[in-house]
Amino acid sequence: MKDTAASFIAKSTIKAADLEHRRKINFNIGRYNAVVPQGKKQFADMAGARERAKNAKWNAIEHLDTYLEMFEQKITARGAKVIWAEDAAAALDEVGRICRERNCKTLVKSKSMVTEEIHLNHYLETQGIESIETDLGEYIQQLDGEPPYHIVTPAMHKSKEDVARLFADKLGVPAGLTPEQLTLIARNKLREKYIQAEVGVTGANFIVADAGGIALTENEGNGRLSMAWPKTHIVIVGIEKVIPSMHDLPLFWPLLATYGTGQQVTVYNTLITGPRQPGETDGPEEMFVILLDNGRTNLLANPATREALYCIRCGACLNACPVYKNIGGHAYETTYSGPIGKVITPHLRGMEDYKHLSYASSLCGNCTEVCPVRINLHELLLENRREAVTQGTSSLAERLAWKAWKTASLNRGMMNMGNGKMKNWVVNKVFKGWTTHRSELDFSSKTFNELWREKNK
């Protein structure tokens, strides 16, 4: 616990003072903030659309077992194989088995946060399999040896000059190329890999229960190529991604596009319902769907935190969060950063090691305000804090400090004891946790109670 918390504090302290980092992030989030209002214009009733989306996800999560079994029944009838993975190790074992049986040497992977969650690329490297990221942002991050910075925009913290230098260093191309030239270079490199790959891996934006299909949303076409060109297609998806019906897609696809990138709808939207069928000319020969738990049932088991599973991974809460915009995505040292990451990571990876994330918040509520499915994120951060205390993961010093604060706050006589200087000394010198990273508190010389009594005699 101390190691993860200390590392987070150290990295966030350094990054918060990095003005060049802040300039890049503010520039990119500024562009996002400019286009999202345009995307919202397609909704005649924005509040109503968000409410319908939340209700659909409520229905899906409350009846998760039913909808997942419906999905399995429908997609296996068309020749796909569904695998239930309790944790990351089980999912990786299944991927490894599938790749070994097909003598896979090269694997192409479209953008997927859940594969980052289970560290798929690292595992494949240990198995002697070349795993290539095909999303441009993910490809940039892979070249640089970094994990994604952002749920939707993996290389948000890099400028076009940074990418040009990276390509020159790693790919041996001329320095100072334009974004268009860099994109064409990446395209040519990746096209070769699509042809070579024996296996393609994708995630899924949604599991569509009644259609027995997975829905993919993208802007580059790399997801379709990763799925259709190799003979074997593996889908790895968290169990919470389910939606009840394909009739929900006309709501969720535009909602995800608007809140994710400010578009009315993304360029490529695909519903995949199984491997290539008799008479079809395109698509993989076989398809596997790995349904991953990996701690999600911990959230499901608690009615207070269950709504965190409604998340559609649009990244809007990251773009709205003042903490994220100052410390960046990598300071969190988790797969999912920002407000949603702070809510779910303690349940996915252990409250004791990651409870500190729930305190890295101003509780301004901006994350809740922008969430397209209206998750009460700031309230869930408070629920995590409460859970950490009730589970006994807080330190003795922390418990004693809050007990003293509660006792004093409930006793008017104690609140009126001493002058402002004494209170300043207690808070700023005795309890040093506040002033380690903040300026000192300065209490009024008189309490409001004392001022009120003087004014009203």
pLDDT attached to residue 210:
96
Q: Please state whether beta strands 206-208 and 242-243 pair in parallel, antiparallel, or not at all (unpaired).
A: parallel
Q: Are 371 and 381 in contact (CB under 8 A)?
A: no
Percent of the chain with pLDDT over 90: 83
Measured between alpha carbons, how far is 322 from 309 in angstroms, rounded to an integer? 23
Measured between alpha carbons, how far is 296 from 340 in angstroms, rounded to an integer? 13
**Which residue do the tokens 């300071």 mark?**
331
384-435 tens-digit pLDDT = 999 998 888 877 877 888 888 889 889 888 877 766 777 788 778 877 777 7
What counts of helices (H) and strands (E) characterise the chain? 23, 10
Close Cβ partners of 426 (under 8 Å, ≥ 6 residues apart): none
pLDDT attached to residue 404:
84
428-455 tens-digit pLDDT = 887 777 777 778 888 888 888 888 888 9
pLDDT attached to residue 338:
96
Measured between alpha carbons, how far is 146 from 157 in angstroms, rounded to an integer? 11
109-134 tens-digit pLDDT = 999 999 999 999 999 999 999 999 99
pLDDT attached to residue 415:
76
What does the pLDDT average to over 130-139? 97
Task: For 411, list phi and psi in degrees, rounded to 5.
Answer: -125, 110
Domains and CATH numbers, the chain: 1-41+308-394 (1.10.1060), 48-294 (3.40.50.10420), 409-455 (no CATH)
Q: Are 375 and 311 in contact (CB under 8 A)?
A: yes
237-291 tens-digit pLDDT = 999 999 999 999 999 999 999 999 999 999 999 999 999 999 999 899 999 999 9
Amino acid (1-letter code) at residue 239: I
pLDDT attached to residue 197:
96
Q: 32 pLDDT exceeds 70?
A: yes
Higher pLDDT, 372 or 412: 372
Q: Are 240 and 311 in contact (CB under 8 A)?
A: yes
Measured between alpha carbons, how far is 108 from 193 in angstroms, rounded to an integer? 7
The token pair at 155 is 């290389």
pLDDT attached to residue 419:
67
Measured between alpha carbons, how far is 25 from 328 in angstroms, rounded to an integer? 8
- Count of all residues that appear for the chain in the document: 457
Q: Quickly state the pLDDT bin for 218 (edges 50, 70, 90).
A: very high
pLDDT attached to residue 434:
74
Higher pLDDT, 454 or 35: 35
Q: pTM of the entire structure?
A: 0.91
72-83 tens-digit pLDDT = 999 999 999 999
Task: For 86, list phi and psi in degrees, rounded to 5.
Answer: -75, -35
Burial 137-153 (b: 16+ CB within 10 A, else e): bbbbbbbeeebbbbbbb
For the chain, give the mean pLDDT: 94
Q: Give me the torsion for CA of 167, 172, 176, 181, rounded to 10°.
A: -70
pLDDT attached to residue 418:
67
